[in-house]
Amino acid sequence: MKQSTMSYMETADLCRELALLLHAGVSVGDGIALLSEEDPSGAYREMLETMARRVDEGGALSAALKESGRFPVYVPGLIEVGERSGRTEEALESLGRYYETREQMSRRIRSALLYPCVLMVLMLVVIVVLLTRVLPVFNEVYASLGGHLTGVAGGLLTLGGWLDAAMPVLCVLLGLAVAFLWAFSVSGAFRDRLAALWQKRWGDRGVSRKLNDAQFAQALSMGLGSGLRLEEAMELAARLLAQVPAAVNRCEACRAQLEQGTDLAGAMRDTGVLAPSVCRLLALGVRGGRADTVMEEIARRLSRDADQAVENRVAQVEPALVLVSSILVGAILLSVMLPLMNIMTAIG
């Protein structure tokens, strides 16, 4: 049975704790063994014990992480670079910060998508109830007064009759919608599959492009801060966008220019990896010998911009849903009440 990959937050916690132990002078094998003993749930105890034995037998931490099959592919890759450069602790700290940031972003996106979807489902339920239960009552009132629903109200009544006849199908669809929202809210694997499908088709436009740029900048900053060569850092960062073909093509073109001797800022600007304004800031950092520091600041800015873009999009979606549903409900009620008021006025 295939074991699930550790979540972003679990990965961040493990990397941070192991970095603290290494900073305190504990060896890698002993540090992993201590973490296995302190695992409160025991969910990863066996995995950590196996990794500790592998390291104590002379294996590398990166190899143990890769063999476990429980970590994102970027983790053993960057740890391996840290081992080669003698900066394993710094690599672990960078991974801890990076995956904590990704967890926060994942939560924001989940919250941003979940609430509008729930609101839309509830509004659809209200409209269906109006059409299938409320309109027939008004039709009976009209019939008792010697009239009948016509025009828009009559058409809505006919639509309500169709919906009432299809009620078993609607209940099944509603159940599927609820199950979908539940799976989206609780299952990280389900969200990852949906995100992968979305990124393959529309993952390089609008808000998705901003999120991709932020993730790429964070990964590149982490790679540069861990002592990677530019080409290696670019390759590792590009792995995070493997599900977005256009982004991968940009990264490959950028790497090709770097290998031909183009400076980092120029290569990114020419290939469209990052915005020209960001590239100008990076060029200043490279000339000042602070490329890693400036890249870290760029990553923070892009992450902030991506978060703001998500919040702005949600701020547009929620009022739009409320406005559309309110207009529909109001139109249904007015189409019924106005003729009824005319009849009551004529009788009075």
pLDDT per residue as tens digits for the range 206-238: 777 887 788 788 778 777 776 677 777 777 777
Task: Show the CA angle centred on residue 325, arms to residues 320 and 329, nearest 5°.
Answer: 150
Reply yes or no on whether the pLDDT at 347 is more than 60.
no
Same fold, 8-100 and 113-348: yes
Q: For domain 8-100, is the CATH number 1.20.81.30?
A: yes
What pLDDT is stored for residue 1 in this prediction?
40
pLDDT score for 168:
77
What DSSP line would sit under 43-55, residue for residue? TTHHHHHHHHHHH
Which pLDDT band holds residue 344 (cuts at 50, 70, 90)?
A: low
Residue 26 has pLDDT above 80, yes or no: yes
Q: What is the pLDDT of residues 151-205, one digit of tens each?
A: 666 676 676 677 667 777 777 877 787 777 777 666 666 666 776 666 666 666 7
Question: CA 94, CA 226: separation in Å to the nearest integer?
Answer: 8
- Tokens 């504990």 appear where? 26
Query: Where are the alpha helices (H) located in the chain, listed in sequence order?
Result: 8-23, 28-37, 45-56, 61-68, 74-85, 88-129, 135-144, 151-165, 167-186, 188-202, 206-225, 230-239, 245-259, 264-271, 276-287, 291-347
For residue 134 the two structure tokens come to 């409320």
Asked whether the beta carbons of 219 and 237 are under 8 A apart, the reply is yes
- Cβ distance 328 to 159 under 8 Å? no
More confident residue, 59 or 346: 59
pLDDT of residue 36: 84
Structure tokens of 345?
Answer: 């006025």
Question: Mean pLDDT over residues 329-343, rounded?
Answer: 66
Closest alpha carbon to 70 in 18, 5, 9: 5
Alpha carbons 298 and 216: distance in angstroms, whole number: 11
Q: Where are the domains of the chain?
A: 8-100, 113-348
Considering the domain 113-348, what is its CATH architecture?
Up-down Bundle (1.20)
pLDDT digits (tens, 9 = 90+) for 245-299: 788 888 888 888 888 888 888 888 888 888 888 888 888 888 887 877 888 888 8
pLDDT band at residue 341 using 50, 70 and 90 as cut-offs: low
Q: CA 313, CA 113: separation in Å to the nearest integer? A: 10
